[in-house]
Structures are given as structure tokens and as C-alpha cells.
Structure 1
Amino acid sequence: MSQDNKYLKKRNNRDVWLFSKRIPKQLQHLYEGKEVLTKSLKTSCIKTARLRRNALLAEMSLQEEQAIDGGRATFISFYRTLKEAKDIHGYEPYGVHHNIDLEDVTNTDRYPEIQRDALKAVYSGETPLKYTCTLRESMTEWLELNRNKNKDTISKVKSTTERFLKHCEVFDLPLLSIERSSVVGFISELADECSVSTIRAHLSRLKTVYKHAWDMGRIKNKDNPFADHSLAHLETKKEKNPKQLFSREQIHLLAKWADEQTAKGSNMGLLFRLGLFTGSRIGELCRIKVKDVYTDSGITAIKIRIGKTSAAQRTVPLTDSLASEVLQLMDGRDPESKLLGLNGDKASRDFSRFKVTNISKDSSQCFHSLRVHVSTALLRAGIQENRSAFIVGHEGGKTMTYGYYAKGDELKTLKEFIDKAEEVIKRDWLN
């Protein structure tokens, strides 16, 4: 359809033009919940139809603007006009000018209720709650002032704000209308799929956006509804909620998705396989440098230099198929460069986002669950627990005599363990 005739159509066997357009969600309550507005333009002339269509589009645009900011922008405009009129002409609501015609001052008959609210605010000095600074407005201003921060920070602030508004089932809301109880509900919702540290990060971002409005003088209430929330009960809950295995079907879906990301130029596929067959944490794998890969007696292994605990520093031999992939990837690369070229935090978020959307919202299932698969596979293969603990970097592995830089017979023994685990993983979850 020609752009000139956008939103215009005719019914079969009729010569009258119709206007048809999807109604934005924030406006559907104004149209009895309808999702599409279809209206006769009562003309068979295309030029007239276009003019009437444009008028309807302009009306919807104004309605959308009001719906998005709750009338705040219009209120501010009226307030400034009326305040200037008061300062210059000395209008008094109950004096000689008590019959003042607001339309004469604002030069419009639109939004009479907002005009009256603006006049009251001029004389009372109090802005009605619904016209005060909003969460989205404060976020936008904060993003503009902090646009030089790294892209990850910017993205997270946007994402968290959108998530909270979605939880509240609104497009936007005044900061001063946010109840602490709403934040508690948000925390409970997050707890179903997020770690305690992730929940803290969400609250910290929202706290920053609220504080920004206070710092800039946009709101008068300093009490921050996103601050000082105790998450101790969640930490206890998480401790009692160990990571769970994925099912065979879930593993297949994850493997397929990871390979699809590889086809797009990422090393997510290799990251997933390294997690599944070595049990290493996602952060450990993403920090591995090319120089951390070595081969001894025909066995290729990776050195985990930095980990969550002291036991995390260890040597992990690779299965033959993984070794082939890794050696090919590192060929000709700078020894100091990251092997996978992935940011651990982003990789974790990408994995979690796919998992939550397509597989499970259960927070006990995550990338960390792949460690449980390896531990379980080693157990099913008859490997003693203290030996399997060394491979995955658990505290119990400290008692092992293997050094951080395993080689020779030590490396050969560890490789035997990994190969047995690979057989079980393929048998129980991949084949």
C-alpha cells in the first residue's frame, strides 16, 4: 500500500473509505478495550479521506502523549503560562479576577481539567501527585547525564526500569506514588528466577534513578522506596534451594540455542560444551586466556587461575573433541587474549534470558546446573567424591595431591575421570 494511503481501506463492494489502525495498548481503555480502531470516513474521495485520516492520527497522537506522561507535560505548560500571568497581571482566584476564563490565558480549550489543576497549583504551591516527576522521566534524564558510562550499565538501568514498570502493569508512574509494598512485591517476583545478588543489583539501579530525581530537585520526598530492603530471608531460601539438573529435552534445547549463537559469530556453543563437560563456572571459562591452555603428553588442559574460592584454582583436562575445538580456536592468537572472547556477565544474562523464556523459570536451573551434571556424571561413573570435587573446583578437592599445574601421570588420571564423565553425559542427557 502507498504510504499516502496508509491506514485507509475500502470494504468489498463499497465506495466509502475506512480508517483502520491498531490502537496502542496505553490507549485501548479509551476505545472500550478495542485493539483496532475502524471508522468510516464518510467519503469516497481519496483526498478528503486522507485529510480526515490525518486529523484522526493527530488526535490519537495527542491521546498517546497524554497517556504516556499522564498529562505531566501539558500540566507543566499550563502551569508556566498561568504562573506568568499571575506574576505579571496579579490574577487572584478569589479576588477581582475570580471569574477569569482559563481558555483566554492558555489560548486553548483542550484539557480543561488539567488547566484547572494547573491554576490550583499556581496558587497553592502544591503539584498534584499525578503530575509529579515520573520513574521513566527520571530514568531518561539520568541516562542522558550519564551517557558516557559503559553500554552495559546503560542497558541494565533501562532494562530494570522497564521490568519494574511491567511488574506494576503501567507504562509509567509518578515516583512519589511508588509504595514500599510494591517494591516488596517486585522482589518476590524476582526471587522466583533471580539470585540474591541480581535482585540487589536491580534495587540498586532503581534506587539510583529515584535518588537522581531528588538530587535534581524534581521531588520533595527523600525517602527512597527502593532502599534498605533486607534480603536475608531470600539468602536462606537460596541456600536450601540447590541447583537442579536439566532434563534430556532441556539440554538438547540449550545445546541447539548455543550452536545457533555460534552461527551468528559467538563462541556460546563452545562455552556451553565446556560447561557441560568440565563443570567449570561461566565466569571461570570466560576469563580463560589463550596462554591458560596447554598440552602435556598428548592431553590438552585448561588452567583456572581465578575462581570463586581458593579451591577453584585447578587444572581441568579437556575431552578429545573439546581439545580439538579449543586448539583450533587459539591457533595464532595473542597469548594474553581471552580464549572465548566473551564477557562473563553478558554471557550469563544471554543464557538466563533464553532459559527463562524458552525452558524454565526455575531459578535452581541455570548455567551453574551444568556443574551438577558433571558432578553427577562422575558419581555415576564411580569416581570418588573428593576426586570429582577437584575437577569442578569444590572445597573437598583441596585434599587432592594434584598440583595447580598438573602434568604427566596426574594429568592422565584427571583425563580418565573426565572421559568417564563424558560417556555418562552423552548416555544420559545427549543421546
Structure 2
Amino acid sequence: MTDFLVLKSGTYHVRLDVPEDAREAFSGRKVLTKSLKTGNRSDAHILKLRWLQQWKTEIEKARRGEIVNFRDDVLQIVEKHQRAINQDKIQGKPASNETKMGFEVIQYAHDKKLSIDFVNEAIDIAAGRSDYSPKTPFFKSRLDAFYSYELNQRKVDLNTVDRHIKRVKALDAFLKSENLLLDYEAVGSFLISKNLEAKTKKQYLFSFNAFYKFLIQKEPSFKERYPINPFKSHELSHVRRGTLKEDERRAFTADEMNTLHGKAIEMGNRRLADLIEIGAYTGARIEEICRLKISSVVKEDGIDCFHIKEGKTQASVRFVPIHPKLMKTVKRLISASDDGYLLKTSKGGKYGTKSKGLGNQFSIFKTGLGFDKKSVFHSVRKTVITTLERADVKNLVIISLVGHKADGLLRMTFDRYSEGPTPLSKLNAVKYLKYKFAS
């Protein structure tokens, strides 16, 4: 198609592809279309020029960040008033709510300083004369409102909120690419397309349900349009037992741990060596290690311990006994610290993660030694757990040491009523962790 015209059911439509870098201003639409309301090709060639010129101008403005996605905003105004307008019509009342909606649309256009063409289009959308129709309800303004609500009112941490938005946008992009409307079947198709573990799919549904719950509370019109939650009761397939997971992370062997630690020292990277050593003797997560302070080194029941005060879950808060072989390193780090932390790092990235820099260093370091993507710093944690399990250390001691949450039948007894294993019993457990680290 070189003349931008498409004939549908005897009527010509003008059609223009939207470049990828301008699609956000058009609700992610890849194509703009408009009925020219004529079956005469000569007339269509003339009528198309207005729309092509307008759209190309919009696209250029969108690329420069000068255009707001006003169409979805206008549709939200319409949805907000639609129920009251319908009630007026049924009851034969004056169209006061329709007038109210019209005034709000005009005020919006004025506030956004829309051009006269955009104002006219906004009025057409409000009056039902426009053929503009969003493929999904995931308007940018809704996502922005949801983002603000989760972050500022519900006090959800920034990382989680960003994950919510990223997952909703992924669903939005899928529905648009597949030309699907939001419903239960479409969500099911999206989950199948992701080819992810059931656990990860649950996280997607958790984000979708949070967004749905927010909207039905804030926008009654949304609940009318989607009275049945399309994100509920999805069956998630699990990997069959006995099926090899190709990307499963593996534990380092004791010899590999010795190699990692030794090579870090050989390269003069003592901080990386200290990170590896603390991880090897505690099984702590990398962020937990990087957040250890001088004040984190305490005595609990007479046992020298790391007091980990925050982490991934409530179970992360725990006392981890300091292995006798680790004490020399800990004392050295305490003596050398000038910022109160055992390992000197700086907060990195959007979320202020203290382990970001060291984590990147470890990734480059282990790859240089020939380790593949199955071997990551979290593999050190697997090494500790595997070693303790093979030494027949009690499950509850291992759970308590590494900061996991007791599950299944153990949850009631261990999580609710038990105060956990003693520091001495945990110290006796970590003594099974044996390496040949250079001092």
C-alpha cells in the first residue's frame, strides 16, 4: 500500500504506520486508521490528505515529547460520566451530566493547550462521533495513578511498584500486538506465551490483580466495563517432576569456592575475596552481606553473630553465627571500616542497591574464569545449603541460618510458636562449612 488507502466493505480508510519511538503517545498503537466515509477513490485521495498531515505532525511532536496522549484521557472522562448520562436518558431527564462531561473535556483541552484540530477530535470522542477506540484499558494516566497510589499511599517499595508497571505494560503490548481485547482468555493466552515457571506467572497475576483492585475502587466505570475480574482463577502449569530445567542455577563445589577466593586475592581484589568468604561461611544473600555494619557484629547467647536486620522477607531477620575461620577477616574489616560498613560499597541503580557494583564485579569475574550463567553469586548460597543438608544438619537449623520461611506443615509450629534454633546449634552447623581459603 503506497497511497495510504484501504478499501473495507466498500468504504475507503486512510492508514498510517506509527514509528516505534512515537507509539507511547498513541496508546501503543502501531497503525492509525480513519474512515473517509466514501467509496469514491478520487474523493478518498483528497480526503486523506488532512489526516495524513495531522498524524505526521502528531508523530513528529510525539518524538520530541511535545504531545500528550489526550485521546485516552478524554475516554476516561467519558467513562467517568457515562453511567450518569445513561441514567438521564433512561429516566428522560435533561442532559445535565452530558453537559457536565462536555465542559470537563473542554477544560481538559484548555489545560493541555491542545491545538484546534485536537480539540475538535476530543469533542468528537466525547460525542461518540470518533472511531478512535483503545485496544486495552491500560491508559498511561491510569498507570501513573496506580504507580502513585502504590508508592505513596500503600507505601509499597519502589522495586515492587516498578515490577507491577512493567508486567502490566507487557500484557498491554501483547494484547495490542495480537489485536485482542482484555478478557479471561486473552490473559490466559498471554501467560502461555510467556513460557515461564508457574511461580513467575503468579507474580504477573499478582500485579494484574493489584491494578484491577485499584481501578474498581477508584473508577466505578471500570468495574461496569469489567465486572468479572479477568485475572482470577487461572490454572498455571508446573514443570513435571523429573524434567530437567536447563537454566537451573547450580551450587559451587568446595574446590570451585577455593578457586574463586584464591583468584580474587591473586588479582588484588581483596573486597571481592571478602564478599566470597563471608558468603561461603554464612549463606547470606549478596545484598544482606553488603548491608552488614560494624554494629551488625554482636554477641547472642555468648556467640559472635551477624545480626541481619532486613532482607527479602520477615524470615530474613536473623542471627547468623560467625564461623571461627571467618573471625580474622571480620576483625580486619571492622578495623579498616571508615563508613560503618564491613564492605565499602556505594548505593547503585534506581533502587539504591548496595550490592549492585560488587554484584557486577562478581559476574564479570566468574565469567572470566569460565563459569557459565548457571553459576552466579546466589550459587554460593546453594553451596552452603547443600553442604549443610549433606551433613545431615536439621532442616529447621538450615532454614533459620539462611533466612528462609518455613513452609507447609512446618509453618504453624516453626513460624508462629518457635523462637528458632539457638546460636550455639547454628554455630555447630556452620562448622561443617570447610574451605581452603588463603589468608
| TM-score of the pair, normalised by structure 1 | 0.47
